[in-house]
Structure 1
């Protein structure tokens, strides 16, 4: 049967409390809501009420080919607030229903779903009857949240075999394959929560819940003494031995501590009853010691792999049995977690030594003992707050993770195209304090002929006491509109930072207050920020449509009217304060217009981006592409013209390395545009002071990060002092300077390739930044590699993340040959090679059977190249590429105002065929010069900026063959 589309919020009548099985009392209220055991047909699927009274009622709905929605509710009413993630069902495909004695089933092409009539558990099978995934535990525990009835929930599944799992957003502990990992999905400055996972088992799970969620182990981490025996330095029970040092290196206090807890703010920052950090032991009190060292032992009660996470800021080192497991630094205003695992045997103690340079920072070490053996391999999502269990099973329409990601976008929306200039180089710093500083920085690039497209005006351009006014401090920015015009005259674009934060004294805050759209608890707690004397502040509530419209209208009047090109939506976790407990944060970001803050903990960035995207697209110039940079994200945000970035990561080598796994998994969560602060945002004092002893390392760190940045979806330099312009990072003519300029120019040469990748994210559900597993799933060696990735399907990127390293090992996946990009040397796949990595270059390989179109030397994406191309053909296997071109600025592509130039390489004939133009585009040149270079295994022709072509043709839009001979 064919089924019409059904809006996501529009459930059948019974879901509004009108089931045919309801029993009504004399007052007209439902007394009994659970259905009798049985099967009920609904539009799109079935409701199964299991025979077991302990099992939830289950609803299964066909959504699209290979996609089903599964919901569970103990009472069978399935009442939930409107989903923010999935806004519309696509047109349903035909499906078949079977109602057996023990099992009910729904079948579509390629997918069968079976629901047990005994306990409601659901199994997913492919078209041949092979099991893909089966539900295991389902736990729904009633709880009250701010006076409303909810559940805390867990759904676990038993995977077939040992698949890899990828996605879950962006996290900063180097996890690539999430199988066996425990990941807390709670928005944070440097962590993005995306409850979507894609599997090598040819399926994915989209978990439709916006509260704090845990993937893997459903239990929150515990204090050390709750799950371990904590021993002192002498081996006795009773806690670790702690020594507190002053600035002279003298021990001023010695303690025994079962759970050293300096995790959160002092009590006067919290409501009564909230668990908070203690003060330091006397004589320190509220004054920070210089250093604390804890020593002793941790004895396990259970044999197995034990998980630990250390919450920390400042310098933190942890050793277990003499092995360093944590050696990190974070700024004090942005502490976060560092995770590690330890294999332990029940009854045996592990030595532990913790050294913390306190410096007014934060610290706590927490623990999880092993799950029962039968649960350790489960796939599991558990959420703190839910009305029902609600998830989507996405079967791949093919055999790749790409197909699963396409299914995710079927549910949550296509990735809207960004303007072409967004893929050029951006420059920013924290911060340009005057409009002259900003214009001088841009002029510095133009004067030195260094390509650039975008300059960014970060926060605090407003008068000190007027955060949220969107006004400019006229002493520092006397004419913002003229500043924007000057940027445009230099053939560049300008982005401006806009926070969802307001001082209550501003007119904008008062207008939002009038409609009930300012969070009150932040004000009640008299929280002060870090500006000047410190000012009371709060955030607005974007869950209200009226508030979203007002928020955009304020931006439009004050900023959009001045011609700014793009929006930097900062602190949208939302970050009311960087060191509040989850419970306190949930209270301060609510109640929202839709429900308690705990219910919508992770979704603020989504509705905030919606406010800007819909406001601008429905505004005075609706055909100009919206571009938003946002510090957080949530499933569906790709439909709002968004790129996320990795937050205020620090300028350390470990953090550079972790950007790979963070960015790849974010991309594999379905959102293709992502970036980071090249060089790391926050800086140790040794760099801030520009200490001569550390300048070499500072320049090398930025150089290596810059090399990596050239091969990420968006290419962007930003951070705290020292200034981040290329010419401020290193002297002209120096090796770091020359390397950064080289990679900047290379990025622009690759723009035809990059912009095609960007277009394919919209038109072909592609991904720019790709885990190796996406293209080489059969090579299980790549599943866990967390320091390499693919840019498109052609480039293998292997960044250098150690100071003074001049070589690194690179694994070349099996199933393809590989070329060194610089030298052209050919390597067989399936081996690890030691790659040269001089400071000037990053190891970079190109897959044989690749076609890579490049452009000429340009200074911005707006430069007129008259269509000139140089096509690199990496021989050794057949290849194809479909070059994409449009106007780069408008939404006309939605009406197919673009062209494709298909290109194919035949290994058998040694011929590159540049096909006839497909489509129409008014701005396309009537003829263009195309150079061709062939790279072959028996040659040594790598890339060079000034390399001579093997052939040159004039292309007029008709098909033409170019022979390698």
Structure 2
């Protein structure tokens, strides 16, 4: 069947395409944190578990947030060194249950690697054969054998109910029973050479060549079912290396094994942008490069500064020079890495709201400029600058040794350089000085960005304070999404949307706030940071009542409510506790006081 999408904009194409293929799954909130990973630890002779716990502790020691760890397949190695899925290596992980619990106490989820090819020497082979779990030979008289990582292997048939059930039974025993709720599906491209090998196709019986593309998608769907069957209210977090159209309904994806180079840090960007236009909003690349040598310091810093904007943020490595890529691998540069990752954590409420938008409209999280500015012909082929949501333009430094960055600002909006507050007209290229700390970001006029100050661990911290950065010169709105971030209660309506509608005139700025939903937000304290390039407010009111202005910043910091004008960045900061009303209004009066008339 062929579909034609006759719609006027790129946004419409993506929305209607995801009407057909499905919208991105709502992953747990903590999946937006930093996910540590490396093959190095799971290849140690012994005590891999302690190496990973030490990694988490070292992150904390260095002030680097971390909420998860992708566990590479070395945890399944047998005595012959080969990978045997679901088979814990007890020299490396002597007590998996305790290991998972230790990570949880530190606020870190574990996502173990599993692979659908099972070597013929696998210790559980007879059980899987008895479960009728594998792709069959063309004559259906035996199980197909093909080369896999480590030797000859059979392959799980995820189009077979027997195959799915047998696989999920072992997943439950080996992983889910230990408290694991996140699964990393790897090496699942199904490169079976004989296209006539037979799969069940849920009773239809088909050659593998006709169904190979959906095997990886079915693997992700199977994992979601296993987690749901084991604990129906746990929200799964699935990551897949491969997938067909619609994979976004079940899993986050990543771009496979990239190599350490400046070329890859740069071209990872259009890879993710293209995936977003293909309906896969929750996507990322291995930060720092998966294989090759360790990234040089400048490359590593720039890769992290770029990676923090990817929906999946994981530094992952299998370096070929006996090194392991860790945030602190270059002590003189650790502060740059730490600052970038902390910026990522401040943006978590923005990311989560964009993930909600992806789950309801299909919108990409990282967006090519053409997605937002289709009428500007100069952005049609721009591949390296991008929008994060509709409000923030990111123009990362992606080339070695740059001290000046050329940035094109699309026509259709004006732009604020967040590093210095300078306004620029859209439709021009500007030259921005950059150093190693620079992450060039530009706020769109009308932009609204919610942030979480001080967030260091999503699992163990409650986001009880929220800042909203607002550029008010154009009418705009933004919907903040909140739920418990962990369960499936949101599917029953237990979530909260807060719509911020901003309008402005010569007399002032009005922010109308409308809350809808049954979820009881944990946010108790708000700060609105409103850009005021020309005039400071004369007064600020909430629910029609004027609130106190502070001229002394220290007194403002200690107050629960009030406002302060920061002349350095020309922002008014309005601080207040959560009103009890579902709908309320914050009004900024910009009428200039006449201080000298009689």
Common topology (TM > 0.5): yes
Q: 1:724 aligns with which of 325, 339, 354?
A: 325
Given the superposition, is the C-alpha separation of residues 743 and 760 from structure 1 closer, same or farther in structure 2, using an over 3 Å criterion?
same
String of CA shifts for 1:790-831, please: whole Å, max 9, x gaps: 110111122222111122211111010011122111111111
CA distance in 2, matches of 1:765, 1:851: 20
Residue 557 of structure 2 aligns with which residue? none
Aligned-partner SS, 1:485: helix
String of CA shifts for 1:58-80, please: whole Å, max 9, x gaps: xxxxxxxxxxxxxxxxxxxxxxx
CA distance in 1, matches of 2:489, 2:146: 49
CA distance in 2, matches of 1:955, 1:914: 14
CA distance in 2, matches of 1:536, 1:943: 67
> Quick check: 2:117–2:148 contact (8 Å CA) kept in 1?
no
String of CA shifts for 1:455-512, please: whole Å, max 9, x gaps: 2211121232463341211111100110000001112211111111212233533333
String of CA shifts for 1:401-430, please: whole Å, max 9, x gaps: 222222222222332210000011111112
Given the superposition, is the C-alpha separation of residues 775 and 791 from structure 1 closer, same or farther in structure 2, using an over 3 Å criterion?
same
Given the superposition, is the C-alpha separation of residues 620 and 947 from structure 1 closer, same or farther in structure 2, using an over 3 Å criterion?
farther
Q: Does 1:800 align with 2:397?
A: yes
Q: Does 1:668 align with 2:277?
A: yes
CA distance in 2, matches of 1:939, 1:797: 28
CA distance in 2, matches of 1:802, 1:849: 31
Q: 2:213 aligns with which of 586, 591, 602?
A: 602
Q: Does 1:963 align with 2:588?
A: yes
> Quick check: 1:703–1:740 contact (8 Å CA) kept in 2?
yes
Q: Does 1:485 align with 2:485?
A: no
Given the superposition, is the C-alpha separation of residues 559 and 947 from structure 1 closer, same or farther in structure 2, using an over 3 Å criterion?
farther
Given the superposition, is the C-alpha separation of residues 701 and 588 from structure 1 closer, same or farther in structure 2, using an over 3 Å criterion?
farther
Deviation of 1:938 after TM superposition, in Å, equals 4.7
> Quick check: 2:252–2:283 contact (8 Å CA) kept in 1?
yes
Q: Does 1:698 align with 2:323?
A: no
Aligned-partner SS, 2:519: coil
> Quick check: 1:770–1:789 contact (8 Å CA) kept in 2?
yes
Residue 876 of structure 1 aligns with which residue? 473
CA distance in 1, matches of 2:278, 2:5: 13
Aligned-partner SS, 1:726: coil
Q: Does 1:456 align with 2:70?
A: yes
Aligned-partner SS, 1:961: strand
Deviation of 1:903 after TM superposition, in Å, equals 1.1
Given the superposition, is the C-alpha separation of residues 589 and 654 from structure 1 closer, same or farther in structure 2, using an over 3 Å criterion?
farther
Residue 187 of structure 2 aligns with which residue? 571
* TM-score, normalization by structure 1: 0.54
> Quick check: 2:25–2:359 contact (8 Å CA) kept in 1?
yes
Residue 437 of structure 1 aligns with which residue? 51
Residue 587 of structure 1 aligns with which residue? 194
Aligned-partner SS, 1:478: coil
> Quick check: 2:146–2:193 contact (8 Å CA) kept in 1?
no
Residue 37 of structure 1 aligns with which residue? none
Deviation of 1:950 after TM superposition, in Å, equals 2.1
> Quick check: 1:509–1:518 contact (8 Å CA) kept in 2?
no
CA distance in 2, matches of 1:593, 1:866: 47
Deviation of 1:864 after TM superposition, in Å, equals 3.8
Given the superposition, is the C-alpha separation of residues 904 and 505 from structure 1 closer, same or farther in structure 2, using an over 3 Å criterion?
same
String of CA shifts for 1:129-178, please: whole Å, max 9, x gaps: xxxxxxxxxxxxxxxxxxxxxxxxxxxxxxxxxxxxxxxxxxxxxxxxxx
Residue 550 of structure 1 aligns with which residue? 166
Residue 447 of structure 1 aligns with which residue? 61
CA distance in 1, matches of 2:77, 2:219: 24
Residue 490 of structure 2 aligns with which residue? 893
CA distance in 2, matches of 1:556, 1:424: 25
CA distance in 2, matches of 1:902, 1:910: 20
CA distance in 2, matches of 1:560, 1:784: 45
Unaligned stretches of 5+ residues in structure 1:
1-389, 577-584, 688-696
Q: Does 1:928 align with 2:553?
A: no
Aligned-partner SS, 1:598: helix
Q: Does 1:647 align with 2:256?
A: yes
Residue 819 of structure 1 aligns with which residue? 416
Aligned-partner SS, 1:537: strand
Residue 237 of structure 1 aligns with which residue? none
> Quick check: 1:674–1:714 contact (8 Å CA) kept in 2?
yes
Q: 2:576 aligns with which of 950, 953, 956?
A: 953
* Structure number, greater radius of gyration: 1
String of CA shifts for 1:824-861, please: whole Å, max 9, x gaps: 11111111111222111122211111111111112111
User: RCO greater where, 1 or 2, for CA within 8 Å and sep 6 or more?
Assistant: 2
CA distance in 1, matches of 2:565, 2:165: 53
CA distance in 2, matches of 1:662, 1:552: 32
Bigger helix fraction: 2
> Quick check: 1:661–1:787 contact (8 Å CA) kept in 2?
yes
CA distance in 1, matches of 2:124, 2:278: 35
Q: Does 1:476 align with 2:101?
A: no
Deviation of 1:519 after TM superposition, in Å, equals 4.2
Given the superposition, is the C-alpha separation of residues 741 and 943 from structure 1 closer, same or farther in structure 2, using an over 3 Å criterion?
farther
Given the superposition, is the C-alpha separation of residues 632 and 964 from structure 1 closer, same or farther in structure 2, using an over 3 Å criterion?
farther
Aligned-partner SS, 2:15: helix
Given the superposition, is the C-alpha separation of residues 898 and 699 from structure 1 closer, same or farther in structure 2, using an over 3 Å criterion?
same
Matches for 1:721-800 after TM superposition, within 5 Å: 721=319, 722-728=323-329, 730-731=330-331, 734=332, 736-800=333-397
Given the superposition, is the C-alpha separation of residues 964 and 513 from structure 1 closer, same or farther in structure 2, using an over 3 Å criterion?
farther
Given the superposition, is the C-alpha separation of residues 410 and 916 from structure 1 closer, same or farther in structure 2, using an over 3 Å criterion?
closer
CA distance in 2, matches of 1:750, 1:838: 22
Aligned-partner SS, 2:104: helix
> Quick check: 2:471–2:530 contact (8 Å CA) kept in 1?
yes
CA distance in 1, matches of 2:578, 2:412: 34
String of CA shifts for 1:411-454, please: whole Å, max 9, x gaps: 22332210000011111112322111111101111222211111
Residue 296 of structure 1 aligns with which residue? none
Residue 117 of structure 1 aligns with which residue? none
CA distance in 2, matches of 1:527, 1:588: 14
CA distance in 2, matches of 1:622, 1:949: 46
Given the superposition, is the C-alpha separation of residues 613 and 948 from structure 1 closer, same or farther in structure 2, using an over 3 Å criterion?
same
Given the superposition, is the C-alpha separation of residues 819 and 939 from structure 1 closer, same or farther in structure 2, using an over 3 Å criterion?
farther
Given the superposition, is the C-alpha separation of residues 754 and 939 from structure 1 closer, same or farther in structure 2, using an over 3 Å criterion?
farther
Given the superposition, is the C-alpha separation of residues 858 and 528 from structure 1 closer, same or farther in structure 2, using an over 3 Å criterion?
closer
Q: Does 1:709 align with 2:332?
A: no
CA distance in 2, matches of 1:858, 1:947: 25
Given the superposition, is the C-alpha separation of residues 451 and 962 from structure 1 closer, same or farther in structure 2, using an over 3 Å criterion?
farther
CA distance in 2, matches of 1:804, 1:934: 35
CA distance in 1, matches of 2:49, 2:5: 49
Bigger mean CA deviation after superposition, 563-572 or 904-913: 904-913
Deviation of 1:943 after TM superposition, in Å, equals 12
String of CA shifts for 1:252-273, please: whole Å, max 9, x gaps: xxxxxxxxxxxxxxxxxxxxxx
CA distance in 2, matches of 1:938, 1:947: 8
> Quick check: 1:930–1:952 contact (8 Å CA) kept in 2?
yes
CA distance in 1, matches of 2:485, 2:274: 27
Deviation of 1:523 after TM superposition, in Å, equals 8.7
Residue 420 of structure 1 aligns with which residue? 29
Given the superposition, is the C-alpha separation of residues 885 and 526 from structure 1 closer, same or farther in structure 2, using an over 3 Å criterion?
closer
String of CA shifts for 1:557-600, please: whole Å, max 9, x gaps: 111111113111011113x5xxxxxxxx4417933223222222
